[in-house]
Structure 1
């Protein structure tokens, strides 16, 4: 029986420091989608591009939206984490490792969103952690405020029950500490602070990691109009 796509939202409406709103119908985020999921009438669906941030171990036989979407990209952020660095015991540690070890894939994510022709969906399993970091980078590059990025991130808390049902149904996630299933505003705030502390801020971090300045301009055109 079809159900609502867990943790689905359009980031349109979030605002930049100078009060400019993100356009609707450009950037979507969600938990793992299914082909028969129900989506609200005001969400542009199906997306033209899907960016899947899950690792290979989480995949089944192809992507669930491969027959609906013309372009599906896999950027397995956690696969880039350097082995043996330290135990990952908190989301704050996990997010920091993603920023440090998966910087090239985060750059690729931004490039794909900038280049897309149509609505773009970014998702992982829950649509909280990997998706949270990736979407935060996109939003900060167009100068969405910390407060708005955090407000969008914590909306996942309202979808926890639906996410849990989806993850148990598909049996796609390994065993993590219970705290990993919660939203962690301090973890995403630490990421924002890390980018801000870099020379040149988030833009400086992005370009140092290999990001294309022209893509940032294209991203701003897409998201801000």
Structure 2
């Protein structure tokens, strides 16, 4: 089986969603949909590698402030689509810098994270953004062409997006969680660098704890999204059809595009 992790010099946590088996025994296709952290520091070699991998669209889930500070490096032949998951004036933010500012102001980091994951489901703007993302994926019909989607750490907005895709493909919850938590292995170096910088700057123990909570993929965070789906829509199927407005035909087409029998 092909490797899911795509090794790049200038970007972390870049992973293919291919290879997972769903409840019907089908496998998610490789080189069709790739998740990642920020790609602003891609080297020319990285960009060429992603082009050769088949990436033809890049979907950026970040805020305009994040995008302006660190614009995506361009991948040859790829279309860049700016699709922020949260409104600019929305109180809840998944941007790591904003979350850290909130922690510095005394807010509980874990509580903030769980609220972010509730808002992925509850906020009409976020639901519309994820629906647009699904529409982009439904247009991705060529077998040798793929979509890369990312935020800053490739953990929260991207993590929920990956969970959504795998749920649509009828992959079981344990596997979805496994994919989500893998971010912790992929971002070890980045997290250590942030903690070291904070310690050198004289950050308090509370601040260091907050950095850990903001920068990790925690099972309780994703569980908050699925608990909210259950509360608001009954189950994932209800969320897809009522929350995102997807038809049964959409779901059938999606599975045809993204799964295969081994």
Shorter-chain TM-score bucket reads 0.7 to 0.9
Structure 1: gaps spanning 5 or more residues: 169-174
* In structure 2, distance between residues paired with 1:57 and 1:193: 30
> What is the count of residue pairs matched by the alignment?
215
Ranges of 4+ aligned residues in structure 1 off by more than 4 Å: 41-44, 164-168, 196-200
* TM-aligned CA deviation for residue 107 of structure 1: 1.1
Structure 1 residues 66-145: aligned runs within 5 Å: 66-79=74-87, 82-83=90-91, 89-90=109-110, 91-101=113-123, 102-117=126-141, 118-145=145-172
* 1:4-43 alignment, distance < 5 Å: 5-33=11-39, 34-36=41-43, 38=46
In the aligned structure 2, how far is the partner of 1:45 from the partner of 1:77? 26
Q: Counterpart in 2 of 1:172?
A: none
Cα separation, partners in 2 of 1:42 and 1:103, compared to 1, 3 Å: closer
The aligned residue for residue 191 of structure 1 is 225
Residue matched to 2:253: 218
TM-score, structure 1 length as denominator? Answer: 0.81
Deviation at 1:199, TM superposition (A): 4.5
CA distance in 1, matches of 2:76, 2:190: 22
| Residue ranges of structure 2 left out of the alignment (5+ in a row) | 1-7, 93-106, 196-206
Aligned partners of 2:109 and 2:37: how far apart in 1?
Answer: 22
Distance 1:19 1:167, change over 3 A: farther
* CA deviation after TM superposition for structure 1 residue 98, in Å: 2.0
Residue of structure 1 equivalent to 2:238? 204
CA 81–104 in structure 1, closer or farther in 2 if over 3 Å, else same: farther
